[in-house]
Amino acid sequence: MEDGAKVHAGSARLPRLSHGIRGFNWPTSPDLNPIEKVWRWMEEELKKSGYVPKSIEELKRELQKLWGRVDPRDSWHYTEHLACKSEDVIAVRGLATIY
């Protein structure tokens, strides 16, 4: 899912394209992109830990540790509510709703 962020239009998409994986436009609302919930969780976990990385490499290591704690079975919760969320997103014309 690509939500219009600049990174999706740049070189970050080259690996996807090199494997013949086509993308599609997605509304800008993070409410319709389940991975946004995971990013938010990771951000909150970093804040709670009080850890302040001193380099990009340290940050990458911490994020990889958190990613290892993500249980794919939990994603059903994020996707199950998409139908209800879509009505909210339509009401705000594609923007983010209140989390």
d(CA 13, CA 33): 17
Is the pLDDT score of 99 beyond 60? Answer: no
pTM of the complete model:
0.60
The predicted structure's pLDDT at residue 98: 67
The predicted structure's pLDDT at residue 62: 94
Per the CB < 8 A criterion, the answer to whether 46 and 62 are in contact is yes
Which residue carries 């990385």 as its tokens? 53
State how far the alpha carbon of 88 is from the alpha carbons of 40, 50, 53, 82, in Å.
20, 34, 37, 10
The predicted structure's pLDDT at residue 55: 95
The predicted structure's pLDDT at residue 56: 94
Confidence of residue 72 (pLDDT cuts 50, 70, 90): confident
Q: Where are the alpha helices (DSSP H) in the chain?
A: 6-9, 14-18, 34-49, 56-69, 75-80, 82-91
Which of 24-28, 44-48, 95-99 is the least confident region? 24-28
Report domain extents, the chain.
Answer: 28-91
State how far the alpha carbon of 6 is from the alpha carbons of 3, 13, 45, in Å.
9, 10, 25
pLDDT cut 70: percent of the chain above it: 86
